[in-house]
């Protein structure tokens, strides 16, 4: 349901595809568990990780959750696994296509007999209905499409309140809150926001959703649309400067964002925040925005998980320790790590009776909020007959600063607002 801050946030990257388009576990977690020696010959627990690693948007765009999940399971196995059983990770690259995704689902479920899928990150989750029919729990996936608000047995990393009876949301409509816009209005006094999009259907549709949310929060909205094939970002930047925009939101890809930022620097357009999302919350900012130092230092990101830079937090520090060998770090890696931890807690609850798909699914359906040791804002799954009109929603906020990286802005558990829920069609 946190669509503005999370699920819909990836649209900035994905909307173009229609045209081309930690943690070291605390020792206490292993107290009173069987050591691996007596169970050395026990069959491993198999989990599947599907990612669009070779999708049309680039080789690294969808691999963060996979890498984070694998890091968790590597560390877990080094400490004895689950009840002395090793977790065997079977990965599958669906190539970013629906056909490839369905093939991955069939292989992992029918051939590899995985107990669950973990940290799914699929550009086209065409196999979602197959996963649901098989009763395989899909834990902590990224809600790039509407699958996690459509099918039972699928548990996206941000939760859902939808009925999930095979139709997206409520009668085909999903709902998102306005907490991001409320935050910048309340905390930073923003009043005018620019929304930049391409003249391409998916981009324009997402821009309309952002615009509607901003207007619901009382903003004056400046709409800027550029040509997809030959975008004139300089003209858009000049206009948002002339309109005295406080904030800039976009429905652009990563390349478009960097070019817009460069144009903003070139024309001297200074804003309170150039707001991006969790998918772009990475350590690659210096390279991606190398030609736009002023705009780069106005980048803000919002999401629903604790900043991967917050190494003062024990759970984050464990994640960073386990992933120190990775060339880059990202918020999606941390969320993949949290998804793997979620599966581990579910499987651990089944150790005495048997780690089966049904038992793991029952843990996921138990109705209690989950935080992965404080890495996530409380994730809930309910099946409401009617969508909520308002909801109290919290968000994680960080700002990029050269030399310091992503700097957390306030506590994500207290950055909370009662906001309206706005309907949109996926």
pLDDT digits (tens, 9 = 90+) for 207-227: 999 999 999 999 999 999 999
- CA dist., res. 64 & res. 157, Å (int): 14
Q: What angle do CA 157, 161, 164 make, to 5 degrees?
A: 90
Q: In degrees, to the nearest 5, what angle opens at C-alpha 389 toward C-alphas 417 and 211?
A: 70
Residue 65 has pLDDT above 80, yes or no: yes
Q: In what order do the strands lie in the sheet with 174-177?
A: 174-177, 416-424, 390-394
pLDDT over 80 at 41, yes or no: no
Weakest mean pLDDT among 14-23, 81-90, 335-344: 14-23
Q: What average pLDDT is seen over the chain?
A: 90
Rounded Cα distance between 374 and 306, Å, is 8
| Residues forming a β-bridge with 399 | 300, 407
Task: Output the 3-class SS for 219-269.
Answer: CEEEEEEECCCCCCHHHHHHHHHHCCCCEEEEECCHHHHHHHHHHHHHHCC
pLDDT at 28 over 90: no
Q: What is d(CA 334, CA 66) in angstroms, rounded to the nearest whole number?
A: 10
Choice among 7-11, 60-64, 73-77, 251-255 with the minimum mean pLDDT: 7-11
Is the pLDDT assigned to residue 281 strictly greater than 80? yes
Looking only at the bridges linking them, the beta strands covering 247-251 and 192-198 are parallel
**List of residues 6+ apart from 62 with CB closer than 8 A:** 51, 52, 53, 55, 96, 121, 122, 123
How many alpha carbons fall within 13 Å on the CB side of residue 75?
26
Between the CA of residue 225 and those of 138, 180, 350, what are the distances in Å? Answer: 38, 22, 53
Q: Give burial (CB, 10 Å; 0-12/13-18/19+) of 114.
A: buried
Confidence of residue 6 (pLDDT cuts 50, 70, 90): very low
Cβ(384)–Cβ(162) below 8 Å: yes
Both tokens of 333, joined, read 């890696």
Pairwise CA distance, residues 244 & 247, whole Å = 9
Q: In this predicted model, what pLDDT tens digit does every residue of 110-161 receive, in sequence order? A: 999 999 999 999 999 999 999 999 999 999 999 998 999 999 999 999 999 9
Please give the Cα distance from 293 to 285 (Å, whole number): 10
So what's the pLDDT on residue 18?
38
Whether the Cβ atoms of residue 271 and residue 247 lie closer than 8 Å to each other: yes
46 pLDDT tier (thresholds 50, 70, 90)? very high
33 close to 330: Cβ distance less than 8 angstroms = no
For position 206, what pLDDT does the model report? 86
Query: What residues pair up with 176 in beta bridges, in sequence order?
Result: 422
Residue 186 backbone zone (phi > 0: left; psi -120 to 50: alpha; other: beta): alpha
Q: Give the per-residue pLDDT at 27.
A: 34
pLDDT of residue 61: 84
Please tell me the predicted confidence (pLDDT) of residue 2. Answer: 53
pLDDT above 50 (res 283): yes
pLDDT tens-digit profile of 166-217?
Answer: 999 999 999 999 999 999 999 999 999 999 999 988 788 889 999 999 999 9
Convert the pLDDT of each residue in 336-393 to its tens digit: 999 999 999 999 999 999 999 999 999 999 999 999 999 999 999 999 999 999 999 9
Tell me the pLDDT band of 31, cut-offs 50, 70 and 90.
very low
Q: Mean pLDDT, to the nearest integer, of 1-7?
A: 46
Pairing label, strands 299-303, 396-401: antiparallel
Does the pLDDT of residue 312 top 60, yes or no?
Answer: yes
Give the Cβ contact number of residue 349 at 10 Å: 15
φ, ψ dihedrals at 356, nearest 5°: -115, 165
pLDDT bin (cut points 50, 70, 90) of residue 252 is confident
pLDDT at 98 over 50: yes
Return the pLDDT at 112. 98
Region 274-292 average pLDDT? 93
What is the reported pLDDT for 426? Answer: 81
CA-CA-CA-CA torsion sign (44, 93, 109, 23): positive
pLDDT of residue 55: 86
């Amino acid at each position: 349901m946190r669509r503005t801050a999370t699920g819909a946030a990836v649209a900035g990257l994905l909307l173009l595809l229609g045209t081309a388009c930690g943690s070291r576990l605390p020792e206490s977690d292993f107290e009173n568990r069987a050591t691996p020696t007596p169970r050395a010959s026990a069959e491993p627990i198999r989990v599947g990780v599907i990612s669009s690693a070779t999708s049309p948007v680039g080789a690294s765009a969808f691999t963060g959750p996979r890498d984070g999940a694998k890091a968790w399971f590597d560390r877990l196995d080094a400490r004895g696994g689950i009840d002395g059983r090793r977790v065997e990770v079977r990965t599958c690259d669906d190539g970013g296509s629906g056909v490839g995704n369905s093939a991955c689902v069939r292989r992992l479920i029918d051939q590899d007999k995985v107990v669950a899928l973990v940290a799914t990150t699929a550009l086209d989750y065409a196999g979602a209905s197959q996963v649901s029919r098989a009763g395989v729990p899909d834990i902590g996936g990224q809600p790039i499409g509407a699958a996690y608000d459509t099918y039972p047995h699928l548990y996206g990393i941000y939760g859902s309140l939808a009925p999930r009876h095979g139709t997206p949301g409520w009668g085909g409509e999903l709902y998102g809150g306005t907490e991001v816009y409320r935050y910048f209005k309340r905390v930073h006094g923003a009043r005018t926001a620019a929304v930049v999009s391409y003249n391409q259907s998916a981009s324009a549709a997402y821009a309309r959703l952002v615009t509607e949310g901003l207007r619901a929060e009382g903003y004056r909205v400046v709409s800027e649309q550029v040509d997809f094939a030959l975008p004139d970002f300089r003209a858009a930047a000049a206009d948002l400067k002339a309109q005295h925009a406080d904030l800039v939101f976009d429905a652009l890809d990563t390349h478009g964002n960097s070019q817009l930022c460069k144009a903003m620097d070139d024309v001297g357009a200074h804003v309170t925040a150039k707001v991006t999302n969790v998918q772009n919350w990475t350590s690659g900012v210096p390279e991606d925005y190398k030609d736009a130092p002023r705009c780069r230092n106005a980048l803000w990101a919002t999401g629903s998980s604790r900043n991967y830079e917050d190494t003062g937090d024990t759970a984050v520090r464990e994640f960073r320790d386990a992933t120190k060998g990775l060339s880059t770090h990202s918020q999606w890696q941390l969320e993949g790590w949290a998804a793997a931890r979620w599966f581990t807690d579910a499987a651990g609850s089944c150790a005495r009776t048997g780690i089966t798909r049904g038992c793991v699914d029952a843990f996921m359906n138990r109705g209690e909020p989950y935080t992965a040791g404080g890495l996530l804002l409380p994730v809930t799954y309910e099946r409401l007959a009617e969508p909520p009109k308002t909801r109290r929603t919290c968000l994680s906020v960080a700002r990029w600063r050269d030399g310091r990286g992503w700097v957390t802005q306030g506590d994500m558990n207290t950055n909370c607002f009662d906001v309206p829920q706005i309907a949109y069609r996926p």
